[in-house]
Structure 1
Amino acid sequence: MIKITNNLILHEIGISDNPTLLRLMHHVYPQAYQHLWKDQGTHYINTIYGLENFQQELQDPDSLYCFVVYDETIVGILRLLDNASLVDLPNEPATKLHRIYIDNNVRGKGIGKALIDWTTQRAAKQGHTIVWLEAMDTQEVAIGFYEKQGFSISGKGRLELDLLYPHLRGMYRMWKHAIKII
């Protein structure tokens, strides 16, 4: 357990948590992303959070994979990848904010900001100078949130998955400096 604030903790996910993770993502992911997919994202969720892929992701020694728990209720996930270079800044030691998904029911409570602040501080403690992420370029609310947290766009890419509508495959790579609080 990692305490972020009095009512916000991270609980590391283990293999036995897969059914809970899969149920959570079938609830949380479509809230923001179902319009991108021909099948509302069902295949993507079942593949990414299914047991086979989940086991592989848990084996990555540079990964921190957690449930986000707010007021004793699981409301999302956070997955960080340490030592994950950003192609646009290859000489900067980096942490990738690989996944952050929070239930819309707790939106506006400062959870995302608290997680970003904690992530940048953790990255700095690890000796990383930047934190970066990828965001779908059509997700204006998410991009605006990340920009408000100090992220800047460094480049573009595409997510080439068959069930993703072709005109909605664009992604931004975004980054910010890791900040150590003394």
Structure 2
Amino acid sequence: MDSLQVNGQKYDLEPVKLEDQSRLYQLMELAYLSGYRDYWQESGHWFLDYSFSMPTLERELTEENCEYVFVKKEDKDLGILKFDFPSSSEKYPLKSAVKIHRIYLLPETHGTGLARELLHHVFRRATNLNAQYIWLEAMEKSAQAKRFYEKMGFEQVLSYTLPFEQLKPSHRQIEIWLREMPVDEF
């Protein structure tokens, strides 16, 4: 199990396993819905069912070159991180790219430096994989997340509309953000 140090505090990165599906879902009810509940017509549970169901987890855990972890402090789950290599968007094709697929943290961790260190963890992994790019998707209305990604050196390269009718029409725009490798400052 990997760990990170953030301001003198130790955080563990525990691999997500299939038998953790219920634990994962419950954590995402807190972490995901705290930031995105208002984006959905029915408060976001459709997305939780879509993204954190047993069939989805089973498929994702069998993908090669996928790192999917719980972020923990002591015995408390604080969020998740999932990234894939190689991964390219159909909307913005890239070669040799790492996709940060999910990074969701409980609100109590915001402003602690934990998200920054998680991205540095991904940067180190991407460097070891000889990736040329790191990319992610951010909701257009997620101003706080987008400010953070910009501070971390990402640039918006594309915007498109998600096909999910369960999203409120005003919240269907999503953006692809990209950062070139190598990243030297971590």
**TM > 0.5 between the two?**
yes
1:173 match: 176
Residue type of the partner of 2:34? Q
Among 22, 25, 33, the alignment partner of 1:22 is: 25
Show structure 2 runs of 5+ residues with no match: none
| TM-score when normalising by structure 1 | 0.93
Task: Map 1:53-92 to 2 at 5 A.
Answer: 53-86=56-89, 90-92=93-95
Among 95, 109, 134, the alignment partner of 2:98 is: 95
1:4 match: 4
Q: Provide the secondary structure at the position in 2 that maps to 1:109.
A: coil
Residue type of the partner of 1:130? Y
User: What is the number of residues matched between the two proteins?
Assistant: 182
Q: CA deviation at 1:177?
A: 2.2
Distance 1:34 1:180 in 2: 33
Distance 1:81 1:58 in 2: 11
Q: Identity rate of aligned residues, in percent?
A: 26
| TM-score when normalising by structure 2 | 0.91
Superposed CA deviations along residues 41-67 of structure 1, whole A, max 9, x for unmatched, are 011102210111111111111211110
Q: Provide the secondary structure at the position in 1 that maps to 2:87.
A: coil
Distance 1:163 1:115 in 2: 30
Show structure 1 runs of 5+ residues with no match: none
Structure 1 pair 140–180 and aligned structure 2 pair: CA distance change class (3 A): closer
Distance 2:37 2:92 in 1: 31
Equivalent pair of 1:69/1:75 in contact (CA under 8 Å): yes
Distance 1:74 1:174 in 2: 27
C-alpha RMSD over aligned residues: 1.7
